[in-house]
Amino acid sequence: MYPAQFQYHRATSVQHALDLMAQHGDDAKVLAGGHSLLPVMKLRFATPAHLIDIGRVSGLSGISESGGTIVIGATTRHADVASSALIKAKAPLLAEVAGHIGDPLIRNMGTIGGSVAHADPSADLPAAMMALGATMELTGKGGSRQVSADQFFVDVFQTALGSTELLTAIRIPASSGACAYEKNPDPASGYAIVGIAVQLTTSGGKVSSARVAMTGLGPKPMRLAAVEAALAAGADAASAAAKAADGIAFIDDARGNASYKANLARVYTKRAIARAMK
Amino acid sequence: MATAAPMIGASIKRKEDGRFITGRGKYTDDINLAGQVHAAFVRSPYGSAKVNGIDASAALAMPGVHAVYTGADLKAAGVNPIPPGWLHAGIQIGDRYPMAVGTARFVGEPVAVVVADSAALARDAADAIVVDYDELPAVTDGPTALSAGAPQVHANATGNVAFNWQLGDADGTDAAIKGAKTVVRQHLINQRLIPNAIEPRACVAHHDSANDELTLYVTSQNPHVHRLIMGAFVLGIPEQRFRVVAPDVGGGFGSKIFIYPEEVVACWVSKAIGKPVKWTATRSESFLSDSHGRVHDTDVEMAFDGNGRIVGLRVNTVANVGAYFTLFAPAVPTYLYGTLLSGQYDIPVIHVKVTAVYTNTVPVDAYRGAGRPEATYALERTLDVAAGQLGVDPAELRRRNFIAPTKFPYQTAVALQYDSGNYEPALDRALTMVNYAQLRKDQAAARAQGRYIGIGLSAYIEACGLAPSHVVGSLGAQAGLYESGTIRVHPTGKVTVLTGSHSHGQGHETTFSQIVAHELGCSVDDVDVVHGDTSKIPFGMGTYGSRSGAVGGSALFLSLQKVKEKGRLIAAHQLEAAAADVDFADGKYFVKGSPSRSKSFGDVALAAYLAHNIPSDMEPGLDSTTFFNPGNFVYPFGTHVAVVEVDADTGHVTVQRYVAVDDFGNVINPMIVDGQLHGGIAQGVAQALWEGGVYDSNGQLLTGSMMNYALPKAEFLPMFETDRTVTPSPVNPLGVKGAGEAGTIASTAAAANAVIDALSPFGITHLDMPLTPATIWGAIQQAKGGK
Ligand SMILES: Cc1cc2nc3c(=O)[nH]c(=O)nc-3n(C[C@H](O)[C@H](O)[C@H](O)COP(=O)(O)OP(=O)(O)OC[C@H]3O[C@@H](n4cnc5c(N)ncnc54)[C@H](O)[C@@H]3O)c2cc1C
């Protein structure tokens, strides 16, 4: 299908992109890898009059480390994240999650910033962002601000990004290999029906703290606070995971009813914790 | 016959694949004609709606837009409804105009068309057309459509009944069921499937006003049928001035048999505006407009004596046909379904009743297997329920009821006469391949550890090689189902094959070349196969119903015999021998007993065309055309076994093994046949586990894209383990049956049976497909709660 007509702009710098965004306001959309935006444009669910392509803005892509923090540029592709030696060593959970996205074609085009900014409730990366305690760098005309993953995801396809802001980088504190991502992919789309990302901090072979985040089963990714508390208090995988659905109001839909979803949350949480603990 | 490496039976690589895998295939959308314009359709967003008016002024004002037409415009110009090609007594046909006239009956029904300079512009213009609708209540489910007070889809089909059809002995079945020791009753839903050929439907229509000739390039499985129906019944164009070309076609599965509105509209508009008109479906349009498959709601009653032998079978089916009949639709839930309900079993008395019902959905028609998967599923699923109820092993229950090999030809209680068959060897081979006895032990051991393994059998038979024309004619077909095959030998001995069948993935260019090479002793590279063009092929009925090898291949085989015989007379003349003393082998005619006195086939071909030295009473040239009309259907059969594991924590199903033992008669290219089988198995397993088209009660298709309609992916499936038994078919000279649909026919029941078998410790005896994790997990919870 053909998208409605639009005008294409290639941004040459972050500043240029911000200028174009200010100029075209709500008529414009930022284009990164295009793998969420173009499908909805082809279906004419989205009909932006202007596309601002940030794909060739230099400095927006790449992976580096400074002072125990991994910095990932917004236009870094999923495939580069998944195969980065630095990420494999210092944020192995992120490498694993990025490797679960779609198929090689998708991973070669889609970007980390695009996925996070899009905030699809079934996307994989948002769970990793929360489990890793990532911080989003949002840049507007007046400069940059830092927003934690917990604050960033607001609702279905809604984030803390202002309409004239660009997501420019993602910062992740270096973490250990005590982590796992367990995903149940939808057989049609490949997106997560449920995805549970677990990042444990251990000392002396024991869990000292845990971050557990879930994607797929609600309007936005969420931390499973009761599970985290149980793990920090020394619970094993089964008893911690038993709390995975506590306090969450699941809804019935085509993917299953609420009790099935609560069950998926518990089962996949258990599997992810068990593997992270191995 | 050739003594060199025989080409029949050789797994040579497919000749056509070079161009396909290097992007050089020529599909309809690759065809661009000078001056062409592009069509886009405005489609009803409602399941049922009155169309009050259409305002196209904004669209027509856009630069580059040529015209807008509505259903009423075409009707006023004399374009007729598109008729179904098969009729039953009492059938109520709801007229299907190419675009809605007054009432739109399903979401996606064309309402208006725009033509513009580009496809993108046509789409923009279509979006600018304002249609004034009154939404009406819709009905999408078959049984609901039959209920009192349901919205009426067509005024002439009271209670939405399109037809009532029955076959077999009602009273006898009644008596058998009353007198039976055990009656197993099961309600089964065979859900809606949405075909998804990789290539979407497309057409390019070109009316040439200089000589009033129309050419239509179209994604068709049967271009002559397109020409006949569109020309003679819908548009009123003389056949000799109407050329239909189906170039490379990227998959059909039945969905490209039918005559679709868009093709009719493109033809008509091309003449109206004097320009070639092109249209290619988007994937979203495919979901909303390609005829869907299956959609049966069935009650089965299977009656047994005290020895586990079936004494009678009653089947009651509500077949949802959607909003209109497309070409094959009346035949699918009747003659391609009811007649197959004896399966491989010796069932003395059967009665089947089918109620075809209109609903506000996409039309439902033939989809790979067409009726036969539905029959196999009804029988094989119920047999497994029966096995549980009777406490007999499912393999044993089947074996006990097989038609004995001594009983062939076997007259079933539902009209068909099976020519040949021997069912136990295929079952035995399949059981050996899975190591059935051990597997049952493993299953028991796994259960003890809380793991749920399931083993599912499906012993199927299909009637294909469509079809003996006199038989189908007496059953309501509006056409014969023979096939034409021409062998045109060129003066150099190279061969062009013209076949009325059509390849859209089946590899005919290779298979048919092999038949020729085998018979003439030449290389397959000396043979080119031409199909899909009404201006080149004498006539043809196309490809569906696993017919191309059995019917089309046989026509070629017979033409080859005629060519060889004429060549023999020429060779005998030149060798100064009696014709009876001349033999043919390895591409040479030679005098029996003195092989050095010989003429190559090429020399003979040249002689035939030079005509300097051929028998004086002989016409020059060397070619032959045969119309082969089979005397009966062919009956492939076999046993498939699926092994699955169900994760009781999530309901997730893993297919661990899949074994298929089939009898396709003689096999021309085993690799191609395996490929057909593999694809079919994937498609059938997908019905059991993943695919399902879902409408809401307003007529909105909830599964209108690949994001929510789960097509099978290779990683979902194990490597298939296949083997064959060979019982040549007696109804055609090649002894071949058909292999295009068998995988789909057998595998749905095998996979579903395996899942239910895995769930038997929970007391679950049946679940409707697709057997999704949510369905399975829910059933397990219910079962646990009920304990
Ligand atoms: C077939 C298919 C399968 C997929 N499977 C999966 C899957 O299994 N799991 C999964 O998680 N995802 C999946 N995806 C989505 C994929 O990961 C996308 O790449 C991702 O969601 C969006 O990234 P993108 O770079 O393509 O963004 P785009 O499509 O270019 O943009 C997406 C949205 O984000 C906005 N945006 C992009 N970058 C920025 C920025 N720097 N600042 C502000 N706004 C921005 C855009 O304006 C747009 O609204 C799949 C996609 C496809 C097509």
When pLDDT is averaged across residues A145-173 and rounded to a whole number, the result is 97
List the domains of chain A with CATH numbers: 7-53 (3.30.43.10), 63-173 (3.30.465.10), 179-277 (3.30.390.50)
d(CA B373, CA B193): 12
Total residue count of chain A as it appears in this document: 278
Q: Which residue's structure tokens are 């076997």?
A: B410
Mutate to test the interface with A, among B191, B690, B706, B777 (most CBs of A within 10 A): B777
d(CA B576, CA B591): 9
Q: Is B717 on the interface with A (CB under 8 A)?
A: no
> Which of A43, A187, A254 is nearest residue B716 as measured by Cβ atoms?
A187
Mutate to test the interface with A, among B653, B689, B707 (most CBs of A within 10 A): B707
The 3-class SS string of chain A reads: CCCCCCEEEECCCHHHHHHHHHHHHHHEEEECCCCCHHHHHHCCCCCCCEEEECCCCCCCCCEEEECCEEEEECCCEHHHHHHCHHHHHHCHHHHHHHHCCCCHHHHHHCEHHHHHHHCCCCCCHHHHHHHHCCEEEEEECCEEEEEEHHHHEEECCEECCCCCCEEEEEEEECCCCCEEEEEEECCCCCCEEEEEEEEEEEECCEEEEEEEEEECCCCCCEECHHHHHHHHCCCCHHHHHCCCCCCCCCCCECCECHHHHHHHHHHHHHHHHHHHHC
DSSP-assigned letters across all residues of B563-621:
HHHHHHHHHHHHHTS-GGGEEEETTEEEETTEEEEEEEHHHHHHHHHH-SSS-TT--S-
Condensed to tens digits (0 to 9), the pLDDT of residues A10-40 reads 999 999 999 999 999 999 999 999 999 999 9
> Which of B127, B650, B694 is nearest residue A267 as measured by Cβ atoms?
B650
H or E segment to which residue B157 belongs: none
Nearest CA to ligand 1 atom 14: A102
Residue numbers in B near A44 (CB within 8 A): 127
Decide: A198 and A276 in contact? Cβ < 8 Å. Answer: yes
Secondary structure class of B264 (helix, strand, coil): helix
Condensed to tens digits (0 to 9), the pLDDT of residues B3-15 reads 467 999 999 999 9
Decide: B290 and B329 in contact? Cβ < 8 Å. Answer: no
- DSSP class of residue B74 equals H
CA nearest B31: which of B199, B268, B224, B235?
B199
Contact call for A255 and B706, based on CB within 8 A = no
What is the residue extent of each domain of chain B? 17-24+483-628, 31-136+199-250+256-289, 293-466+632-786
Contact call for B649 and A267, based on CB within 8 A = yes
Decide: A114 and A33 in contact? Cβ < 8 Å. Answer: yes
Q: Ligand 1 centre and the CA of A34: distance in Å?
A: 6
Task: Check residue B420 and give its pLDDT.
Answer: 86
Residue type (1 letter), A114? G
Condensed to tens digits (0 to 9), the pLDDT of residues B527-565 reads 999 999 999 999 999 999 999 999 999 999 999 999 999
Torsion of CA B139, B142, B143, B147, to 10 degrees: 40
Residue numbers in A near B127 (CB within 8 A): 4, 44
Task: Check residue B478 and give its pLDDT.
Answer: 87
Residue B680: CB atoms within 10 A of its CB come to 26
| Ligand 1 atom showing the smallest separation from residue A36 Cα | 29
Task: Check residue B2 and give its pLDDT.
Answer: 41
Mutate to test the interface with B, among A105, A263, A267 (most CBs of B within 10 A): A263
Contact call for A1 and B773, based on CB within 8 A = no
CA nearest B362: which of B107, B619, B48, B629?
B107
Phi, psi of A270 (to 5 degrees): -60, -45
Residue B104, strand partner residues: B49
d(CA B587, CA A37): 61
Any idea which architecture B31-136+199-250+256-289 has in CATH? Alpha-Beta Complex (3.90)
For residue A83, the distance in angstroms to the closest alpha carbon of chain B comes to 22
Residue of chain A minimizing CA distance to B711: A188
Any idea which architecture B17-24+483-628 has in CATH? 2-Layer Sandwich (3.30)
Does the structural domain B293-466+632-786 have CATH classification 3.40.50.300? Answer: no
DSSP-assigned letters across all residues of B166-196:
EEE-HHHHHHHHHT-SEEEEEEEEEEEE---
Task: Check residue B398 and give its pLDDT.
Answer: 98
Secondary structure class of B425 (helix, strand, coil): helix
d(CA A168, CA A174): 19
Phi, psi of B764 (to 5 degrees): -80, 125
Nearest CA to ligand 1 atom 11: A123
CA nearest B554: which of B380, B391, B738?
B738
Q: Is B447 on the interface with A (CB under 8 A)?
A: no
Decide: B438 and B517 in contact? Cβ < 8 Å. Answer: no
Task: Check residue B419 and give its pLDDT.
Answer: 87
d(CA A241, CA A230): 9
Torsion of CA A216, A217, A219, A223, to 10 degrees: -90
Decide: B330 and B84 in contact? Cβ < 8 Å. Answer: yes
d(CA A127, CA A101): 12
- Which pTM was predicted? 0.96
Decide whether any atom of ligand 1 lies within 6 Å of the A102 Cβ. yes
Q: Which residues of chain B have pLDDT under 70?
A: 1-4, 786-787
CA nearest A98: which of A35, A170, A88?
A88
Q: Ligand 1 centre and the CA of B713: distance in Å?
A: 22
Same fold for the pair B17-24+483-628 and B31-136+199-250+256-289: no
d(CA B366, CA B355): 17
For residue A5, the distance in angstroms to the closest alpha carbon of chain B comes to 8
Residue numbers in A near B128 (CB within 8 A): none
Q: Is B525 on the interface with A (CB under 8 A)?
A: no
| Ligand 1 atom showing the smallest separation from residue A35 Cα | 26
Q: Is the peptide bond before B467 cis (omega within 30 degrees of 0)?
A: yes
Q: Is the peptide bond before B636 cis (omega within 30 degrees of 0)?
A: no
Decide whether any atom of ligand 1 lies within 6 Å of the A234 Cβ. no
Task: Check residue B5 and give its pLDDT.
Answer: 76
CA nearest A269: which of A228, A221, A233?
A228
Decide: B731 and B465 in contact? Cβ < 8 Å. Answer: yes
Condensed to tens digits (0 to 9), the pLDDT of residues B647-672 reads 999 999 999 999 999 999 999 999 99
Residue B255: CB atoms within 10 A of its CB come to 27
- What value does the mean pLDDT of chain A take? 96
